[in-house]
Every structure is written in structure tokens, then in C-alpha cells.
């Protein structure tokens, strides 16, 4: 089958059969399909779309374009499951959720990413921990998934390599915005991890990857249908990103917050509630709990016994970090040299937060990248971020800035202050944390 024929058919808005899609994606992976052809394919899909069967085939072809992890030879004593998020600000769910699920009997081979645009990345957070190696060899990764129940590492070159090329071309050809391409990219990588089940956290709101709530919902529906259609039971929680999920954002600050939750503190936080909801869905979906009440009992036991924290510590140490991070976090997670509060210019209730602006503030402070390959400062970020619905008096802090210097702090403080809309309490109805669950 000629690649030009496949391109012509998609250009003419014809439906591609699975064979054609697999042929194309094999060529993307082995280099026989050129960048111009990849760009033409992506543009044709953006313009003409794909039906469900095509999108499932594209996801399967992405998954199968490289190594697909297999776990049966390890005789694991529980299911292999994972969670993935479309990304947010102050979203450190993975750091807590992975070990928590491991402590409940699951095995979580979590391949995570770096910060992208205004959103933080799990790998960047973990690299705030001295010695933590996000690129272990295969044997160590598998051993940790078996023995500890969780390993959070970076994308390897061998998993879904077609996506790396396709995404790179989409990025420079204005073809990122396409539902089938986005779903195949996200799910292809995840399903290559050999999962029994998957829960996706699709964010909704002004800090979300998708630009509108309707677009987030559409993405969520597509993920459920295509993930399950590709053979991995997949459900989605639509969760709120109209404010940072934690009250902090920044790599080392978020590791501190993860440890706080894993110690059993902060149960009234938004972060705890969203993490708990995702964990419940994972446990029930994978058969580790019979229902939500059973999941709640198991999760409580795992947290209260210290087992979830223990799993986190074993993962960190297993991947090269200190064995006593949980006991001495301040010793290992260096603070930023300069802190200052950004205060409210007038009194009012926090009616809106420009979440994206806060995320970009962290990037500007040096906690994220402007260009791929930039070094980042893990110490910087924001903490004590005021919440939607909170009453603030004039001169009270909206947030605390953690910066490398006063000059760096001054450069962003005004923009960060403007990210908060203060008004009358009547307008201040904090949004639901969980907008919907789709199965």
C-alpha cells in the first residue's frame, strides 16, 4: 500500500481501514514515512476527522509502534493499572496516587511527562528529589513495579515511538488540535504500558489543556470509547481546573505537599478529594475493591497505617533518591533563596483565578521551561495560594512567592496579583471538584 494513496484517501475524506492506518504508523516508527508525509496526514485528519473505528486503529497502531510492556511473566499478585491526567497547575495527584494504589494491592507502571506550557510535570517534581533517576533500565523499572507496586519514570525511546515523531510534526504544523490525534497520542503511550485498566483525569476550566468545558467533555467521551475499544477498560473523571488543585505550585513545594498528604494530613484539601476520587475509581474498576465504600475503607487503611507513605519512600530510594526523604524532607528539598507575599490591593472575595497565569508565573520564576531542554530551578514556585470563594482583606496575602531573588519575584508579582479577581461574595460559588465520571 502506497503512503501517497493513504494520504490521498484521507485528503478526500474517505474512511481509512485499520490496515492502512497500521501501515502508515509503522512507516512513521521505522522512518520510511517522511516528515512531509506525516504533516500531510496530520493536516488531513485535522480537516476531515476520523470515525471511531479509525481513531481506535490509530490508537492501537500508536501503541504497537514500539515495545508493549508485558507483565504476566512476573506473576504479579494484583492488577496493572494507571491514571493519566491532561495536566494542570498544582496537580501533584500522581505523586500521592501511585503509592496509595500500590499500598492497596495494585501495580502502577506510571510513565510521566515533563511540564508543558503552563502545566507542571510529574518528572520535574520528582527530579526535585536529589538522586531520583527518571530513566532507570527496564529491569529496575519492572522490579519496582513488582516489589514496591509503583514506579514513576519518564518516557522511554522504545514505547510508542511513532507518537514522538508524529507529535513533533504536529507541533510545528498547527495540527495539535484534533480529537483523534490527541486521543491516539495520549492513549497510545499509556496502553503501551500493558495496563489492565486506566483512569483518565481530564481537566475542565481555565487552567485545562482543552480550551472549553465542552471540549474537555468531548475529549473525555472519546477517551472512554477509544480506550475501551482498544481493549483496555478506561474511565474518565472530569475534574476542576479553575484554580490550582493544591494551594502550591512548583516542583519542590509540591513534593512537600505530597508527603503531607501521604502522612495523612490535609484531608480537607481539594487535592485530597480529587486524588481520593481517582483512587476509588481505579480500585473499583480494577476489581481491587467491590464498591466505593469498600475502596474508601482500603484507602483509609493504606494511609493511616503509613503503608502508602512507605511505598513512596521505597520507590524514591529504589530509583536512587534518599532513603529518609519522608523523615527529613527539609534536608533534601532546598528552599528558594527569597520569599515574599503578594498581597491583595483591595478587600473582596476571590471570584475567579486565572489558573493559566499562575502556571506561567511558575515558569517565569524558573520552575518550568520556556524551551525544551532548559534547566529548571526546582526550589521556586507559589504557595499559600488563596482559594476561590475565600474572603481576603486589603493587604492580606493572595499567595507567597518563592524565587531565586527579589528581582525575579518583583518581575512577576504584579501579574500574579492580577490573576485574582476580587469581588462581592454573591458571585463566589466555588465550582464542583468532580464535574462528571464517564465509564
In the complex with ligand URA, the residue whose CB is nearer, 181 or 401, is 181
- 170 noted as active-site residue: yes
Q: At its nearest, how many Å lie between ligand URA and the CB of residue 38?
A: 14
User: What gap in Å lies between CA 433 and CA 214, rounded to an integer?
Assistant: 16
Q: 29 near 64, Cβ under 8 Å?
A: no
Catalytic residue among 125, 189, 311, 314: 189
Instruction: State the DSSP code for 73.
Output: G
Annotated active-site residue 228? The verdict is no
Residue 383 is among the residues annotated as catalytic for this protein: no
| Residue number with CB closer to ligand URA (68 or 176) | 176
Q: Which residue number, 163 or 408, has a Cβ lying nearer to ligand URA?
A: 163
Q: Which of 228, 330, 270, 296 is nearest to 88 (CA)?
A: 270
189 is catalytic: yes
Nearer to ligand URA, 163 or 307 (CB): 163
82 is catalytic: yes
- CA distances to 146, 313, 339, 366, 429 from 408, rounded to whole Å, are 44, 33, 10, 9, 34
Distance CA 226, CA 237 (A): 15
Q: How far is the CB of 84 from ligand URA (least distance, A)?
A: 9
- Nearest residue (CB) to ligand URA, 148 versus 182: 182
65 counts as catalytic: no
From the CA atom positions of the chain, what is the Rg in Å?
22
Least distance to ligand URA, CB of residue 192, Å: 12
Residue nearest to ligand URA (CB): 185
Which residues have CB under 8 Å from 83's CB, separation 6+? Answer: 93, 94, 97, 98, 101, 110, 198, 199, 200, 201, 278, 282
Q: Is 417 a catalytic residue?
A: no
Q: How many residues bind ligand URA (CB under 6 A)?
A: 6
Site string for ligand URA, 164-203 (x = CB under 6 A): ---x--------x----xx--xx-----------------
Q: Compute the Cα dihedral for 137, 142, 147, 152 and give only its sign.
A: positive
The CA-atom distances, in angstroms, between 350 and each of 91, 268, 389, 392, 397 are 20, 19, 5, 7, 12
Active site residues: 82-85, 122, 170, 185, 189-190
Q: Which residues bind ligand URA (CB under 6 A)?
A: 167, 176, 181-182, 185-186
Amino acid at each position: 500500500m502506497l503512503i501517497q494513496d493513504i494520504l490521498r484517501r484521507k485528503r478526500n475524506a474517505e474512511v481509512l481501514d485499520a490496515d492502512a492506518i497500521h501501515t502508515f504508523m509503522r512507516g512513521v516508527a521505522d522512518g520510511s514515512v517522511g516528515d512531509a508525509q506525516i504533516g500531510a496526514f496530520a493536516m488531513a485528519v485535522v480537516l476531515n476527522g476520523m470515525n471511531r473505528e479509525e481513531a481506535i486503529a490509530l490508537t492501537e497502531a500508536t501503541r504497537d509502534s514500539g515495545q508493549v510492556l508485558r507483565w504476566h511473566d512476573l506473576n504479579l499478585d494484583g492488577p496493572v493499572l494507571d491514571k493519566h491526567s491532561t495536566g494542570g497547575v498544582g496537580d501533584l495527584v500522581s505523586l500521592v496516587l501511585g503509592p496509595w494504589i500500590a499500598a492497596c494491592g495494585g501495580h502502577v507502571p506510571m510513565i510521566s511527562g515533563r511540564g508543558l506550557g503552563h502545566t507542571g510535570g510529574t518528572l520535574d517534581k520528582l527530579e526535585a528529589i536529589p538522586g531520583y533517576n527518571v530513566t532507570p533500565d527496564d529491569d529496575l523499572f519492572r522490579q519496582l513495579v513488582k516489589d514496591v507496586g509503583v514506579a514513576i519514570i519518564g518516557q522511554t525511546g522504545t514505547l510508542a515511538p511513532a507518537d514522538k515523531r508524529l507529535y513533533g510534526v504536529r507541533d510545528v504544523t498547527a495540527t495539535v488540535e484534533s480529537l483523534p490525534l490527541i486521543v491516539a497520542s495520549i492513549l497510545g503511550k499509556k496502553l503501551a504500558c500493558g495496563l489492565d485498566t486506566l483512569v483518565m483525569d481530564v481537566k475542565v476550566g481555565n487552567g485545562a489543556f482543552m480550551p472549553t468545558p465542552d471540549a474537555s467533555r468531548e475529549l473525555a467521551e472519546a477517551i472512554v470509547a477509544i480506550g475501551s475499544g482498544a481493549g483496555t477498560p478506561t474511565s474518565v473523571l472530569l475534574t476542576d481546573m479553575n484554580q490550582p488543585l493544591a494551594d502550591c505550585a512548583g516542583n519542590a513545594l509540591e513534593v512537600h505537599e505530597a508527603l503531607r498528604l501521604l502522612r495523612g494530613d490535609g484531608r480537607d484539601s481539594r487535592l485530597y478529594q480529587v486524588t481520593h476520587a481517582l483512587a476509588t475509581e481505579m480500585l473499583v474498576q480494577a476489581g481491587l475493591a467491590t464498591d466505593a465504600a469498600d475502596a474508601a475503607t482500603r484507602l483509609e487503611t493504606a494511609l493511616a497505617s503509613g503503608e502508602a507513605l512507605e511505598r513512596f519512600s521505597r520507590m524514591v530510594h529504589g530509583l536512587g533518591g534518599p532513603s529518609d526523604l519522608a523523615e527529613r524532607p527539609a534536608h533534601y528539598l532546598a528552599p528558594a533563596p527569597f520569599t515574599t507575599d503578594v498581597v491583595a490591593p483591595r478587600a473582596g472575595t476571590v471570584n475567579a483565578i486565572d489558573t493559566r497565569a499562575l502556571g506561567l508565573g511558575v515558569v517565569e520564576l524558573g520552575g518550568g521551561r520556556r524551551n525544551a531542554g532548559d534547566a529548571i530551578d526546582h526550589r521556586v514556585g507559589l504557595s499559600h495560594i488563596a482559594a476561590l470563594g475565600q474572603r481576603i482583606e486589603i493587604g492580606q496575602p493572595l499567595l507567597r512567592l518563592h524565587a531565586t531573588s527579589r528581582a525575579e519575584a518583583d518581575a512577576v508579582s504584579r501579574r500574579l496579583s492580577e490573576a485574582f479577581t476580587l469581588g462581592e461574595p454573591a458571585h463566589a460559588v466555588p465550582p464542583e471538584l468532580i464535574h462528571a465520571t464517564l465509564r
